[in-house]
């Protein structure tokens, strides 16, 4: 398929350009986000002090903002970094972790959207609904069970949500779940790759956003960047599960195998396993 070939080309761009990806993220998954960036071929930097973030952003290829662990200090640093990245035309990727769970998180995201232009926003369907102002429930970092994307009715609603929010915010929207939906408002792709085990390891969503940051840092087509990052995580998850089962092992082995699959990820994996289609 043509889209699989384009993802392969995007992957090669990372290997050749080795994008420097600046993360301002949470302490729970910071190490995993740094290591998955290295595994894919990029280079991570995790600076968060407001006195240096402008200077740091000026040398990077992409900026990833993750609100998993919030404080006023971190929010201030994120806004300073985001504005500087916009000034320099550096892509900013947002992971709105658990937005909608508290009024504070929702207010922070509203402020971000008002002050920062995002290249990509990646979240589960409950988080994206919260950004769109749709009333619903959220279970912390997890999507609410009533929002599950394995239901056809919910898929149709989520596609419409992604397209409308993308047009409104002028950004790529990536909704991840049982089926992933990536849209720039004009084109919408579905990805049917992945495994339920990705939800059994803390931080795989954060790591997926880091992958998107790498792809967007090496490719100026941000729809392709989001699509590539999400597809890479899904396919790598499938490979990791198969290798775990061969060893009759458990979830700790799955996490190691996931990192290995990202490190060894290739065009062949995309061509053999990619289940990606425009809809």
Q: For 37-58, what is the mean pLDDT?
A: 98
Looking at 123-127, 138-142, 177-181, which range is the least confident one?
Answer: 138-142
Q: For 40-51, what is the mean pLDDT?
A: 98
User: What confidence score (pLDDT) does residue 31 get?
Assistant: 98
User: What confidence score (pLDDT) does residue 154 get?
Assistant: 83
User: What confidence score (pLDDT) does residue 153 get?
Assistant: 80
Confidence category of residue 147, pLDDT binned at 50, 70, 90: low
User: What confidence score (pLDDT) does residue 134 get?
Assistant: 75
Q: Are strands 172-175 and 180-183 parallel, antiparallel or unpaired?
A: antiparallel
- What does the mean pLDDT of the chain come to? 95
User: What confidence score (pLDDT) does residue 138 get?
Assistant: 54
Confidence category of residue 146, pLDDT binned at 50, 70, 90: low
Q: Kindly tell me if the per-residue pLDDT of 124 is higher than 60.
A: yes
Q: The domain 2-278 belongs to what CATH superfamily?
A: Ribokinase (3.40.1190.20)
Q: Kindly tell me if the per-residue pLDDT of 141 is higher than 60.
A: no
Q: Would the annotation count 273 as a binding residue?
A: no
Q: For 11-24, what is the mean pLDDT?
A: 98
User: What confidence score (pLDDT) does residue 152 get?
Assistant: 74
User: What residue segments make up the domains of the chain, in order of their start?
Assistant: 2-278
Q: What is the pLDDT of residues 247-270, one digit of tens each?
A: 999 999 999 999 999 999 999 999
Q: Would the annotation count 1 as a binding residue?
A: no
Q: What is the pLDDT of residues 174-227, one digit of tens each?
A: 999 999 999 999 999 999 999 999 999 999 999 999 999 999 999 999 999 999
* CA pair distance 113, 109, nearest whole angstrom: 6
Looking at 14-23, 113-122, 129-138, which range is the least confident one?
Answer: 129-138
Q: What is the pLDDT of residues 206-220, one digit of tens each?
A: 999 999 999 999 999
Confidence category of residue 150, pLDDT binned at 50, 70, 90: low
Q: For 130-137, what is the mean pLDDT?
A: 76
Q: Would the annotation count 8 as a binding residue?
A: no
Q: Kindly tell me if the per-residue pLDDT of 151 is higher than 80.
A: no
Q: Would the annotation count 46 as a binding residue?
A: yes
């Amino acid at each position: 398929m043509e889209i699989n070939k384009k993802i392969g080309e995007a992957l090669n761009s990372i290997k050749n350009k080795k994008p420097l990806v600046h993360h301002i993220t949470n302490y729970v998954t910071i190490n995993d986000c740094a290591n998955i960036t290295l595994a894919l071929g990029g280079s991570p930097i995790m600076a968060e002090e407001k006195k240096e973030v402008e200077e740091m952003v000026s040398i990077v290829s992409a900026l990833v903002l993750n609100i998993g662990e919030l404080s006023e200090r971190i929010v201030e640093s994120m806004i300073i970094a985001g504005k500087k990245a916009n000034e320099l035309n550096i892509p900013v990727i947002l992971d709105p972790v658990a937005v909608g769970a508290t009024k504070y998180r929702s207010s922070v995201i509203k402020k971000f959207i008002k002050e920062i232009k995002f290249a990509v926003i990646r979240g589960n369907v409950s988080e994206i609904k919260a950004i769109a102002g749709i009333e619903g429930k959220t279970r912390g970092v997890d999507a609410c069970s009533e929002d599950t994307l394995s239901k056809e009715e919910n898929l149709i609603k989520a596609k419409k949500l992604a397209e409308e929010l993308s047009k409104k915010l002028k950004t790529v929207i990536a909704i991840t779940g049982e089926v992933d939906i990536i849209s720039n408002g004009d084109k919408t792709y579905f990805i049917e790759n992945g495994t339920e085990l990705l939800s059994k390891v803390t931080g795989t969503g954060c790591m997926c956003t880091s992958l998107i940051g790498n792809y967007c840092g090496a490719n100026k087509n941000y729809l392709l960047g989001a699509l590539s990052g999400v597809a890479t995580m899904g396919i790598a998850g499938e490979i990791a599960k198969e290798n775990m089962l061969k060893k009759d092992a458990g979830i700790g082995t799955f996490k190691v195998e996931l990192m290995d699959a990202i490190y060894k990820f290739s065009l062949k994996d995309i061509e053999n396993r990619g289940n990606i289609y425009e809809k």
